[in-house]
Structure 1
């Protein structure tokens, strides 16, 4: 690049400190290229012209103001939707024994004997086959089962907004001036238009 050893070390140091190296082959339009770089934030103190491979370099004139940009870091917070968990709803069959008391009826034979005191004449003969049949009934319990709806479950989601504190260390640059000798420094802070 046509730099001597001292300039090469200086360039390497600036790049290690986060600087950017821009090489423009502008030919005779070197000053125009410097103006474009200045408009886009390049520091004039760091700009040099190197014509071809010769070591002749031109720097910005002393009359033009030199600019030093102070930087600061700002936090940019992004949100990302991630799965937090999952709820699984399922039915489980529980078996239990139900006992109920059910009133039932049945018929029983009631035999009532009466003594006959007046001797009435019998209508039949002794030894005649005479049978009385009395049918008896009873209620029997018959159990049927059927499914009925006892509860209905509705499942949905809702968004709940909350605030979380986010902390991160940020850096910023401030101007410090170091003077040697009998020098007067006037510092006027300007605000952006």
Structure 2
């Protein structure tokens, strides 16, 4: 069988077509990165920010969606037992404290919020708190006294890695 070599015009057209196809593929890839497909998890425009309350300096920032849950874990100052406050992102400047879990007996005083429940492992919780807040505010404790940790999206972030002990911290949704 005898093959006829392609003429130069045909080769040029095929070369231009390949360049156009490659350019279109690159453009499509870039558009996919910038504009997520409908139905995929699009950016909500919400950010959880940990700031130094006194200066407003942003120490930590991450994108969140409405409904995202996070918690602040620490050793309670009274009995140095683990204590965790659980929150849910509602929207810009809106956070809901949902419940608290803890190991210690605290100081025996009554609780103003929630329903106290003993848990089988010896810990307890204050459930059904559902208090709306604009921000969560607390003084960052030292590693030996509190060791505050932010848990969100499967990550645990030790807040002393972002600020010094004694700093007044604010957690907000912007």
Q: For this structure pair, what is the TM-score category when the shorter chain's length is used for normalisation?
A: under 0.3
Give the number of the structure whose residues are more often strand, by fraction: 2
| TM-score normalised by L of structure 2 | 0.21
Structure with larger Rg: 1
